[in-house]
Structure 1
Amino acid sequence: MKKTIIAVLGTMLLPVAAATPAVADTELSWQDCGDGLQCDRITVPADWAAPNGKQITLGLAKLPARDPATRMGTIVLNMGGPAQQISILRQIKGTFADLTQWFDVVLFDPRGFEASTEVRCPNPAPNPTNGEWVFTNRAAFAQYTKQNHRFGLGCAEAAGPLAGNLNTWQGARDLEAVRVALGERKLNYFGNSYGGVLGVAYAEYFPSRVGRMYLDSPIDHTNRSWDEWVLARAKVKEDNLHRFAEWCATDRSCALHGRDVLKVWDEVMARATKRPIPAPGAGAGATASAALIASRATVSFDATWPELAKSLTEADAGDATRFAKPFAGAPDPDLSRITMCADFPFPTAYREVKAMEARLRKTAPRIGWTMAWPMADLCTGLPKKTSYPPHPIRPRGLPPILIANGAYDDTAAPAYGRRIAAQLDGARYLAAKGGHALYWSGNPCVRDHVHRYLTTGQLPPTGTTCGPASS
């Protein structure tokens, strides 16, 4: 079947000079590419505002529906990041296997990543020293900013025609090109986490093409107030520290059971603020400052609480080794911060971030205030050629969209999903007792509602709340 991609589609809603439509005929020819996937590529403009200019490719992959007799169509999936998609799906395809009862599950690597026209930054993205994302020293932040600037300049040079075109305004048009190539009259879409930014952008620019859309733990790209945007996350993180304390009070396995956990936290932080706590097991002369402890305290995930309790117990006794050991977590792909900071041009001047931190401390004084820093650290010093900043939306003619958030998610706070739902006519918000990526993490209640919605269009009743995944 011949499928036509109209390259000018990206100009339909952008006030640029008229351009002659550039039509590229492409016929998808799925080929086996291992792990049960089929792969192919399509060609799109490097810049949808100049559709007749340089072209790039998008790498697509399909997890086919199990039975053609029960197949209901295609759903396009974006698992978030922003990051590569295909190689991740190879590792966790079982998570989304239920969808293949009814759909071909299709995804594509975003522009710049892996199977698509790839941007390979010559220098790795810098990470704050020893994982300490909270900067208390202006000179150290300035040095880190220089490193990130050097990284960004290298990426821009390596990007070639994609320089300045790695943002979700472009990505929404890529998504429409994928719909056209698939031959789907409407787009059925599942966006997880940062995939929600892409889904909302698509709904804004192509409302008449939306079929069924599920946004799980979406990042809010509709709020121009950085203080409001960060405060929503800070409040949830602060609440998570209190949940940790409540768990310790009821679970005898907690190393701090029987003690006032919040008092212990306050005392450790006060001591580390006056003088960093020794961390002999992390190397000669190693210490843990209050900023490091606040950066490293993993309060958001229940599974990490036993380790956090041990870390606090030992720090309270004068040994902060558990907080000071080299951080083993995998960083985001280097290119993710380029896209993220084009979509979210966060304030990065040291005085601005410190002022935001001070404001957050009034509402989230123990740990939530740290939320002032992560985006600033990602974006500081990056070249600001173009950006796609947050803005309110009001698309018309949309079908009902399902949006879900976890009450304990300090990456995509519940306020994010509620705000998005309020701007999408007919959208339904599904609350859940859980953290980030509800469907992915296996919440059975959420998964049941998602399957029902995607297959029948039936939304959960207004006010529905799903319990925790273990219930």
Structure 2
Amino acid sequence: MKTLTIAPGSSPASTAQRSRRRRVGAVVAGAIVTVLTLSGCVTAFLPEPPPATSTPTGEDVAEALQPFYSQRVSWSGCGGGMQCATVEAPLDWAEPASGSIELALVRQPALGEKIGSLLVNPGGPGGSGYNFVKDSVDYATDERLQERFDVVGFDPRGVGRSTGVSCYDAAGMDEYLYGVSTNERGSDAWIAEMTESATSFGAACADGTGPLLAQVGTENAARDLDLLRAVLGDEKLYYLGYSYGTFLGAVYAELFPGKTGRLVLDGAIDPSTSNFEVTKTQAQGFESALRAYLSSCLQSNECPFDGTVESGMKTVGALLDSVDASPIRAVDGRELGGSTLFTAIIYPLYDANAWGMLSDMFESVMHGDAEMAFEFADAYNGRNADGSYSDNSTEAFMAVNCMDYRYNADPALMREQAAVMDEAAPVIGRYMSYGDIGCASWPYAFQGERGEIHAQGSAPLLVIGTTNDPATPYVWAEALAEQLENGHLVTYKGEGHTAYNKSNECIADTVDDYLIDGTVPAADPMC
């Protein structure tokens, strides 16, 4: 998760937060489709289900909320054995009568005897749960879960097909995400330039989105989650959240501990960590993953690096600094600077199976070719080959994070923190610094304090951490499991971001047994 918000032109829009991204550009898709692309297989051939209606639980809520909690959800077939629907939620949960928004849902009905609805969040913030389930249900969940649950994907408020955040057109997004500065990174002129860019972006989001922009924080999304639980007819919540989705699930458990059924939080985020500490820890995570990649790469005859891991790290750092000073022009006219190359590097670090493609990308950039690096960065940012954007994930990511954390606008403090980042992650730390700029001038400020989440009185909650997860470092899973009154840590000893449904039987069995039967491990299985 970078600093959870990054300065335009300084670093990608999030890593741990944009957690579960697995999209790739056309050039690289053929080579790593089985690694990064989310694609369904078995379920694509299921027959079209008949129209259906979900009956709400009918629980007692405040009078102003009754119209929302009493909705009957009408489902219609939308291809591939899926059903789609929309649900209305309050625009402002503090004033439910002030207006409403729409939440988009898709589900694959249970293939066998149904337990309930399993709501799935792929991460972000800004990730589309709708697309995740509709296009990739076999990646999101395994056959055992599909047999017993209606698998439900949803776009949180502000995201995708739900009432969304809207900021720039495609050309504006290109400039915001890929623009190259001629000023020295961290200088007064550079900070002023980045601040102007961030302020303009925030103003465009306010103009394009309207009142929703002030209401996209995670607490409101968690209240939406409870609404979805109720209108789907479940007395308790069944939930599978990845990366940022673990924070959404933890906030839900804090707000509604008595409504927790079985929640799996995979690739956990520590809710008590400050924006800067999140960024620093994640920088260390990606630095560690980069070292692991180099260690593996150097054992191959086709590795573009030679020597030791240390010399390889120095080469990567020099390459980043070189393109930052002298960008490489791509065929489409865009320039590959240090920030975009950084995005291209971290994208395949999410999954060790993509490290071979990372080697190809490094070799191409070393030879002055920017095309593959842009393919990776574009896949991360949701940019299509024709220059359009496939979703609003970047806008939603910024909007949610700007409402979820406090940010610092003092250049002196930013520079102090940048020095700490350089020491913590000598190669990539500088490309994850100054992230506060992105939200320091946001139209709406975070209200409240970040702190530990205990969810007192909740059901048992499963927290999964991967030991060398670059995006959501393992220490966060340890911290969240410790904070939760009824948290249970499950460790996956391995590389990559998140653990479930990645061909590890220990993790799969632990998660499935918990969600289906309520079986809680007596101790961490250390998978």
Aligning the two structures, in what range does the TM-score lie when normalised by the shorter sequence? 0.7 to 0.9
| Per-residue CA distance 1:162-218 (angstroms, 9 max, x = gap) | 131011111111111111112211111111111111101100010010000001112
Residues 132 and 153, structure 2, Cα contact 8 Å, conserved in 1: no
Residues 330 and 336, structure 2, Cα contact 8 Å, conserved in 1: no
Distance in 2 (CA, whole Å) between partners of 1:246 and 1:56 is: 49
Aligned to 2:465: 405
Deviation, structure 1 residue 264: 4.2
Aligned to 1:93: 137
| Per-residue CA distance 1:33-66 (angstroms, 9 max, x = gap) | 2232212222221111112221222222221000
TM-score between the two structures when normalised by the length of structure 2: 0.75
Residues 269 and 290, structure 1, Cα contact 8 Å, conserved in 2: no
List gaps (5 residues or longer) in structure 2. Answer: 1-53, 382-392
Distance in 2 (CA, whole Å) between partners of 1:276 and 1:389 is: 36
Deviation, structure 1 residue 291: 6.7
| Per-residue CA distance 1:106-129 (angstroms, 9 max, x = gap) | 232211233322343354542142
CA RMSD for the aligned pairs? 3.4
Deviation, structure 1 residue 387: 4.3
The counterpart of 1:72, out of the listed 96, 110, 115, is 115
| Per-residue CA distance 1:402-426 (angstroms, 9 max, x = gap) | 1112222221111111111111123
Distance in 1 (CA, whole Å) between partners of 2:320 and 2:198 is: 28
Q: Decide which moves more: 424-433 or 304-313.
A: 304-313
Q: In the alignment, does 2:495 pair up with 1:445?
A: no
Change (3 A) 1:269 1:115: closer
Aligned to 2:159: 113
Distance in 2 (CA, whole Å) between partners of 1:135 and 1:117 is: 36
Mapping of 1:133-144 within 5 angstroms? 135-144=185-194
Distance in 2 (CA, whole Å) between partners of 1:152 and 1:372 is: 20
Percent identical: 27
The counterpart of 1:338, out of the listed 389, 393, 399, is 399
Aligned to 1:245: 294
Where 1:118 maps in the other structure, the secondary structure is coil
| Per-residue CA distance 1:320-367 (angstroms, 9 max, x = gap) | 545996443341442221012211334354443332121122233233
Change (3 A) 1:303 1:166: same
Residues 57 and 235, structure 2, Cα contact 8 Å, conserved in 1: no
The counterpart of 2:266, out of the listed 213, 216, 239, is 216
Aligned to 2:96: 51
Aligned to 1:367: 428
Distance in 2 (CA, whole Å) between partners of 1:286 and 1:112 is: 29
Aligned to 1:14: none
Deviation, structure 1 residue 312: 5.7
Distance in 1 (CA, whole Å) between partners of 2:420 and 2:135 is: 41
Q: Decide which moves more: 122-131 or 278-287.
A: 278-287
Distance in 1 (CA, whole Å) between partners of 2:224 and 2:495 is: 32
The counterpart of 1:390, out of the listed 450, 474, 478, is 450
Residues 514 and 520, structure 2, Cα contact 8 Å, conserved in 1: yes
Deviation, structure 1 residue 385: 4.2
Change (3 A) 1:112 1:418: same
| Per-residue CA distance 1:276-310 (angstroms, 9 max, x = gap) | 77677758999987777656544724345445556
Residues 134 and 153, structure 2, Cα contact 8 Å, conserved in 1: no
Aligned to 1:82: 125
Distance in 1 (CA, whole Å) between partners of 2:229 and 2:471 is: 29
Aligned to 2:476: 416
Change (3 A) 1:36 1:388: farther
Q: In the alignment, does 2:517 pair up with 1:459?
A: no
| 1:453 maps to amino acid | Y
Aligned to 2:150: 104
Residues 272 and 288, structure 1, Cα contact 8 Å, conserved in 2: no
Which structure is larger by alpha-carbon Rg, 1 or 2?
1
Q: Decide which moves more: 361-370 or 159-168.
A: 361-370
Aligned to 2:216: 166
Deviation, structure 1 residue 149: 1.9
Residues 216 and 439, structure 1, Cα contact 8 Å, conserved in 2: yes
Q: Decide which moves more: 289-298 or 25-34.
A: 289-298
TM-score between the two structures when normalised by the length of structure 1: 0.83
Q: In the alignment, does 2:194 pair up with 1:194?
A: no
Residues 421 and 428, structure 1, Cα contact 8 Å, conserved in 2: yes
Change (3 A) 1:285 1:150: closer
| 1:410 maps to amino acid | P
Q: Decide which moves more: 322-331 or 108-117.
A: 322-331
List gaps (5 residues or longer) in structure 1. Answer: 10-19, 467-471
Distance in 2 (CA, whole Å) between partners of 1:190 and 1:370 is: 32
The counterpart of 2:314, out of the listed 249, 257, 266, is 266
Where 2:495 maps in the other structure, the secondary structure is coil
Q: In the alignment, does 2:447 pair up with 1:425?
A: no
Aligned to 1:16: none
Where 1:329 maps in the other structure, the secondary structure is helix
Distance in 1 (CA, whole Å) between partners of 2:233 and 2:72 is: 10
